[in-house]
Structures are given as C-alpha cells and as structure tokens.
Structure 1
Amino acid sequence: MESNAQDLMNIVGTAESKQDSDRILDLLFSYMPKIAAERSLQNLLVLMADLGRSLVRADRCSLWLIDEDKNELWTKVAHGVNELRIPITAGFVGHSVKTGEALLVEDAYKDERFDHRSDEKTHYHTTSVMTVPLMNGAGKVMGVYQAINKQGETPVFSKQDLERLALTAVYSAKTIESATLTAELEAAKVELEATQKELIHILGDVSESRSRETGDHIQRVAEISYKLAVYYGLPEQEAQRIRLAAPMHDLGKVGIPDAILNKPGRFTDEEYAVMKSHAQIGEQILLKSKRELLVFAASLAGAHHERWDGKGYPRGLKGEEIPLAGRICAVADVLDALSSPRCYKPAWPEEKVKEEFIKQSGMQFQPELVDVLVKNWDDIFGCFRKIRAEMEAVAV
C-alpha cells in the first residue's frame, strides 16, 4: 500500500505548474477510491484506462493483457469498442511485450511496427501513440498500457506524457496483479466450496440409499431446515450453511447393519442402542475433515437427535446446550419422518403431525422453533401436500 502511494506521488511530481498539479491531484482523488473499492478485474481495467487517458489527455487509452494460453493480447477497455484480440507480437503493444521497452510514436502510419488491423476493425484513424509495458512483481511483462491520439493544442505526446503513463503503469501493474491474485483465490474458494457441496450430497445419498423407505428424505430435510432457519430470523448466509450441512445429518447410518436399519418392526433395546449410535458415527466421520462446512455438518449430525428437555441422545444435551443447527434439523427430520410413509408405518395425517409438534413444544423441540413451524405451516408443509396429491393421482 505504501509503495502504491509513492507511485501516485511520483505522478503528481511530474506536474509543470500548480494548475497542472491541481488537475492531477483532482484526477487521483477522483479515481483512487473507486479503484481501491473495485473487486472486478474487468471494471478495474476500465478505471485504469480512464485514469491514464485523463492524465495524458489521450483520445483513447487501453490496457492490453497477455493471454498466454492463446498467445494473444486482448483488451476490453479501448474506448468505444468491444473486446479486441491481436497476436502477442503484433503492432506497438506487441513490440513492448517483446522488448520490454516503452514507445513514443508521432505518426503511427509512418512506423513499420504499426498494426493496421485494430483501425480496420474499429474504423478509427491512429496518429500519435504511446505504449508502456506493465511489469509484474517478478519483472515479467504482463501487459501493455497504450494511449492513442493526443488531444489539445499539441497533436503528439510528449516525453512528460510518457513519463506520466509509465508511472501510472507501475501503479496499475501492482493493482492489477493484486486483483488477479484475489480473483484467482476467490475462484479457488468457489471451486472448493462447490466440491464440498457436491461431496456432502454424494455422501448424504450414500447414507440414505441404505434405507429403502427414505427416498428424497435428505433433500426435504435440507429445504425444511433452510426455511425454518430463515423464518427463525437467521442471516441468509447462516441459513444456507444449514441447508448445505443438513443432508449429512444421517451419514452415520453407513455404520448401522442392514438388519437393524431396515427392520419393519419395533427395535429391541439392544437394536435401538445400535441405531442411536449413528449420530456419533456421523459426527466422528465428519470431524476427520478440516473443512469448515464439514466440521459444521459434524456438529449438526451429532446433535439432531438431542431433545430440548435433555432426554435425547447421544449426549443428553438440554435447551440451548444443543447447537442451533441441530435443533432446527431435529424439527425438519421429525416432520419428514411423520409426514412420509416408512417401512414400519404409513404417513401421518397432516393435522395429527401438527398436533404432535404442538404437544412436543418445550419437550422434544425448542418452543420458538415450533412456533415458527406452526406460523409458517402452509409453506413448510406444502411439499408433503404436493407429494400426497401426486400419489393419489397415480392411485386413481
């Protein structure tokens, strides 16, 4: 940051007069907050091009960047045109890429290095030109700053203009390199999060595939948990996190024998003890990960069978000792279990399901969550009404 500030002060130092200095300062004060706040690389390039154009009083100014995969130079910021692409060695910008040198050209059409293709595409006539290479932190050319057609009384750019563009290029290169790195890190983060989401749903599907009767259970629990979280007043980001973690609530079922998992009748005490162990099994599996989302899912998996009155399992947690995500998932899980047919029972009638939640308020479930469920019953229970209507239509 200090280095960038010094770069800007160097630009001011090129002023010939107080009036010129004031103009440059006004430009910098105008553009710097916008540049500092900008997160989009493409928008940042536009701002940098506009700054350069104003500083040297050019008709057009653009930042060409190297596309190493295609061995091309490209720009989206040449004023009044769409994206342009040229071979990496073409024209004045190509010369600056190849040599690392800045150019100051009075008449482009008298210089054999000029590439006419840009003018032909844009129906523009280039006269005076400046190019300055942008160097990254490793001293390698990453692009080229180009200003075209000096405006004002003097038709050509001066050495002072070139110095100003060169100083702006130093600042721009550092800013663009930082923005590019930030964009790459953000892209990597998005990819990692997408991978985690996919992994969660895959593992959730694996665990549920062992239970013949569950069908789309994990998806419904995820959506119901999300709605409960939103209606409860949690921020959208937290509600989404619960939605992503909820499919993992029964992951521990992968460690339960089929004979118990799919038993149609009542469990013996020994079988029930084995069945209850799935909460801790799932938690332990997920805790092996260091990923934040999976660790969060571990907490949810380990807590979704706890009860508000402390009579749940595996730890007998009570009230707010139970993680909120676990309390929310407990409501969603039981709502789906009661409202859906299972191998050991038919689906309960809608009113009976609602009555059971009201009855269990303050015992099995947090009262405020039951209130949220009942208040928003039509929206939350709507998915089961749809399923039941579809089943009735098929039966007919």
Structure 2
Amino acid sequence: MSKQELTPEHLLRIIFDYTAKIANERNLNDVLVHMADMGREMIVADRCTVWLIDEQNHQLYTTVAHGVDEIRIPYGTGFVGSSIVSGEPIIIKDAYEDDRHNAENDRKTGYRTKSIITVPFRNNDGHMIGAYQAINKLTAIGHFTPRDLELLSLAASYAGKSLESVMLHQEIIDTQREIISKMGEVGEIRSQETANHVKRVAEYSYVLAIALGMSAADSELLRTASPMHDIGKVAIPDAVLNKPGKLTPEEYEIIKSHTAIGHRLLRGSKRELLHAASIVAEQHHEKWDGTGYPNGRKGEDIHIYGRITAVADVFDALSTERVYKAAWPLEKIESFFREQSGRHFDPAVVEVFFGQLPKLIAIRDSLLDFEDDSV
C-alpha cells in the first residue's frame, strides 16, 4: 500500500526532532542511525543508507543501512561511488536500466531495488566525507523526484557538518582508549603477564557490567578503564616484582603499593576515562569483607568498578596458563568463586559471573596467548 507525501507541518516536525537528536548525540553509530532514519522519513523511502569514506583502504562503507549489516565496496563503484567521485547527486527511476547497479545483491537478498537517490555530503571544510542513499520510493509515484533531492540535500548538508564534530570526538575517545590500553600492557609485561591479559579483563568487565544492569555508556567506560588496573606496577622494582621465590612481608607491602601508586598517577585528571581508571587501579584488590588493600574498604564502599574488575582479574589469573603455572580446571574455578562470594567478592557480581561464564570462556578462548585446554 502506497504512503502519502508528508505535509509541510509533518516534515518540519521530523526535521526538528532529528536535528535535535543528532545535535545532542556523541556516539558515532547512534548519529548515523538518526541520519538514516531522518533521510528515510523525510522522503518516504523504504530504506536509507549512510555511506562513509575509508580513505586508508580506498573503500566506501556503511555500518548503518536499513535491512542489512555492514557493507564495504571499492571507492568509486556503484551509484554511491559515482556520486561521491563526481560530487553530484544521482536520481535513478529504475536501477535495472543502469549499468552501475549490482543486481547480484538483490539476487542474494531477495530484495528488489527499483528507484534510487544518492546525495553526497561534505564537512565544514568542503571535504567529501560520505553520502546518503535512499532506495524505493513508497508513495504512488514510485520514484524519487526533484523535491526529494532538495529535501535529502538539506538533510545531507546539516548531517554532514554535524557528523564531522562527532567523528572528531570519536577519534579523541579512540585515541584515549588506545593509550590507556597500551599503558596497561606496559604494567602487565613488566610483571611477566601478557598484553592479552588486559584485553581479556577489559572484555570480561564489560560483559559483567552489562549483565549487572549498568548503562551501556558506563559499561563501555569500565571496559576502557580496566586495562589500567595494574599500571602502578611500573614503579615496582624488578627484583621484587619478578622475584621467583616467596616474598618477604616487606616485599609484599611493596607489591601492594602498586594500587596506591596507580591511583596517584591517574587521580589528578579531569578526564572521565582517567578518573575511572584511577578508581579501578586503587580498588581492584579490595575485598567485600574488608580484608583487602590498600584501604580495607568493605562492601559497597568499594566502587562497583573495583568490584567488577576484581572478579574479572582473578578469573583471568586462574583460567589462563602462564609460564609459571597451569590454568585451573573449570570445576576448581567455580568452587573458588562460590567459596569467596561474600568474602573476597561482591555476591551480586559472583551471581552474574556464573550466569555469564560461557560468554567469558568464549572471550578467553578468542584471546588466548597460546594453546590451553585446561578449562
């Protein structure tokens, strides 16, 4: 059944609603979703895709396309490639009458592409960064019109400029994450751990946080911050950190100081990521019953980030092989966590741990440092 063209009032409401959503959003993927939805609704299309340029790989790609997963195509190919290269929009009434249409995709999906409209968009400097592409007009006319081109060009002009600031913000966040991860790896490698240890702890922490009902943003923040849990080890002398025999009481106190050192290194930052990392660094060795260190915090006085990372860190230590020890069998690990629930670990986190254990094991197996069949 055909749909009606939008009234001016309805069109204005869509524009105001989506421009407000885009202006208040800092997550790149969410902005792209809003862009695709806005374009589809404005011109009454069946599907809308937002394409971006991957200059490094000389490709065009989309992570947001109604009805399909991520797609990558060579730069300059297809309708969208032609539009981006020329810098001009394209309107096609019947895709099958144009050699640029790849009918193979329709055969694979069973979807019939008819009319197409593609509008490239630029950033504030006039640099081409991507394109809108809508497929199949849903009104009785059955194809896109110059009015649709005008409307989608309006959306592209606004969205392209808004997208640039979000992409810059995302680049900053990605850079911070990479730096934090690398710094975390430095601390682990000095203590004869592996780079994958911090990656596994990050992924475990995220899974546990989501399962506990934490927001996606807070869970992602913990995933980014948790690799820094042992950063304070950079200040521990090698003779103590890697001592092959039993530590003296004095040496053990030196080892324990890595929590306070890590906290001091990070606590002065006003950045949300580094503030979260300072909490994790300080509190991941605190215990639910108050017998942990460095401050003997107890129960919910321990930040949830510390409680989650404690479970993630210990699980990884027990379940993976090291040059100096074998991995524990799964039954022994499960018994340990049941025994330590309410003592070492927050019972709520332990409950979630058991519920997510298959997922945690899958993560561990995907990030193993070498073959390990013990669990």
TM-score strictly above 0.5: yes
Residues 350, 215 of structure 1: CA spacing in aligned structure 2 closer, same or farther, 3 A cutoff? farther
Instruction: Choose from 28, 48, 57 the match for 2:8.
Output: 28
Counterpart for residue 201 of structure 1: 181
Instruction: Choose from 161, 172, 187 the match for 1:192.
Output: 172
- Determine helix, strand or coil for the equivalent of 2:16: helix
Q: Note the alpha carbon deviations across 1:346-378, whole angstroms, 9 max, x for none.
A: 333322221111111111101111122223333
Contact 2:257/2:294 (8 A) holds in 1: yes
Q: Give the distance between the partners of 1:48 and 1:79, measured in 2 at CA.
A: 18
Counterpart for residue 368 of structure 1: 348
Unmatched tracts of structure 2, length 5 or more: 1-5, 23-31, 45-84, 96-146
Is 2:275 the counterpart of 1:295?
yes
Residues 185, 389 of structure 1: CA spacing in aligned structure 2 closer, same or farther, 3 A cutoff? closer
Cα deviation, residue 180, structure 1? 5.3
Q: Give the distance between the partners of 1:27 and 1:188, measured in 2 at CA.
A: 36
Amino acid at match of 2:248: T
Q: Note the alpha carbon deviations across 1:312-339, whole angstroms, 9 max, x for none.
A: 1111111011110110000111111122
Q: Give the distance between the partners of 1:202 and 1:213, measured in 2 at CA.
A: 13
Contact 1:262/1:343 (8 A) holds in 2: no
Is 2:228 the counterpart of 1:248?
yes
Counterpart for residue 371 of structure 2: 390
Cα deviation, residue 384, structure 1? 5.3
Q: Give the distance between the partners of 2:331 and 2:365, measured in 1 at CA.
A: 12
- Determine helix, strand or coil for the equivalent of 1:307: coil
Q: Give the distance between the partners of 1:392 and 1:294, measured in 2 at CA.
A: 36
The two structures have a TM-score, normalised by structure 2, of 0.60
Instruction: Choose from 288, 295, 299 the match for 1:308.
Output: 288
Instruction: Choose from 231, 249, 253 the match for 2:211.
Output: 231
Q: Give the distance between the partners of 1:316 and 1:178, measured in 2 at CA.
A: 53
Amino acid at match of 1:298: S
Q: Give the distance between the partners of 1:42 and 1:385, measured in 2 at CA.
A: 36
Q: Give the distance between the partners of 2:360 and 2:270, measured in 1 at CA.
A: 33
Q: How does 1:6-45 map to 2 (within 5 A)?
A: 27-38=7-18, 39=22
Counterpart for residue 197 of structure 2: 217
Q: Give the distance between the partners of 1:44 and 1:222, measured in 2 at CA.
A: 35
Q: Give the distance between the partners of 1:360 and 1:275, measured in 2 at CA.
A: 22
Residues 333, 45 of structure 1: CA spacing in aligned structure 2 closer, same or farther, 3 A cutoff? closer
Contact 1:207/1:252 (8 A) holds in 2: yes
| Bigger radius of gyration | 1
Identity over aligned residues, as a percent?
40
- Determine helix, strand or coil for the equivalent of 1:216: helix
Q: Note the alpha carbon deviations across 1:165-196, whole angstroms, 9 max, x for none.
A: 9xxx9xx9999876555333212211111111
CA RMSD between the two structures: 3.7
Counterpart for residue 331 of structure 2: 351
Contact 2:200/2:316 (8 A) holds in 1: yes
Contact 1:308/1:364 (8 A) holds in 2: yes
Counterpart for residue 256 of structure 2: 276
Amino acid at match of 2:292: G
- Determine helix, strand or coil for the equivalent of 1:390: coil
Cα deviation, residue 45, structure 1? 8.1
Contact 1:265/1:344 (8 A) holds in 2: no
Contact 2:262/2:281 (8 A) holds in 1: yes
Contact 2:208/2:349 (8 A) holds in 1: yes
Q: Give the distance between the partners of 1:180 and 1:388, measured in 2 at CA.
A: 42
Contact 2:207/2:356 (8 A) holds in 1: no
Q: Give the distance between the partners of 2:160 and 2:370, measured in 1 at CA.
A: 52
Counterpart for residue 237 of structure 2: 257
Q: Give the distance between the partners of 2:234 and 2:260, measured in 1 at CA.
A: 12
Residues 44, 375 of structure 1: CA spacing in aligned structure 2 closer, same or farther, 3 A cutoff? closer
